[in-house]
Amino acid sequence: MKVSLIVSIYNGADILPITVPPLLNQDYPSEQLEIIMVDDASTDGTAELLENPEWREKCRVIRHEGNRGRTAARNSGVRTSTGELLIFVDCDIELPPDFVSRHASRYTDEQTVGLLSNLLPHSTELLDKYHRYLFEGKRGA
């Protein structure tokens, strides 16, 4: 199954050197994987990073002239995609090497029409306290 992985980016220069290599090294067959990176008019050097020849060899880059938002970035990726399956991620997500293959394997069941997932942050005491604050319903002004 041909898969299009669409990455929306805005001012990701600080995080892209960490998150792009795992994107480019997925264990899914490269001839069946299309990676589309959409830069939504970043102002922090993201455009220059995306010119990296190693990255350009393995992905297509779309650049918006003006900032139009995440939805517009994703829609630009959709318009240029050729995959049967579209997977959307943001530029700050570190993917495991089997992310695409595991995702695509779920579509072998004809009853599956879509998937939604969340990635949980590495647990730290600070994050645990923060999440309790957010989700225990004891917030106040």
pLDDT tens readout for residues 16-35: 999 999 999 999 999 999 99
Digit-coded pLDDT (tens) for 68-100: 999 999 999 999 999 999 999 999 988 999 999
Residue 139 has pLDDT above 50, yes or no: no
Q: Is there a domain that residue 36 lies in?
A: yes
70, 40 in Cβ contact below 8 A?
yes
pTM over 0.95: no
Q: Is there a domain that residue 88 lies in?
A: yes
Q: Is there a domain that residue 49 lies in?
A: yes
Digit-coded pLDDT (tens) for 99-119: 999 989 888 777 777 666 665
Here the CATH number for the domain that contains residue 61 is 3.90.550.10
User: For the residues 55-77, what does the mean pLDDT come to?
Assistant: 95
What span, in angstroms and rounded, lies between the C-alpha atoms of 73 and 37?
Answer: 9
- Map the chain to HEC letters: CCEEEEEEECCCCCCHHHHHHHHHCCCCCHHHEEEEEEECCCCCCHHHHCCCHHHHHHCEEEECCCCCCHHHHHHHHHHHCCCCEEEEEECCCCCCCCHHHHHHHHHHCCCCCCCCCCCCCCCCHHHHHHHHHHHCCCCCC
Q: Is there a domain that residue 141 lies in?
A: no
Q: Is there a domain that residue 140 lies in?
A: no
63, 91 in Cβ contact below 8 A?
no
Domain span at residue 75 reads 3-135
Residue 9 has pLDDT above 90, yes or no: yes
Number of domains in the chain: 1
Q: Is there a domain that residue 48 lies in?
A: yes
**Where residue 57 falls among pLDDT bands split at 50, 70, 90?**
very high
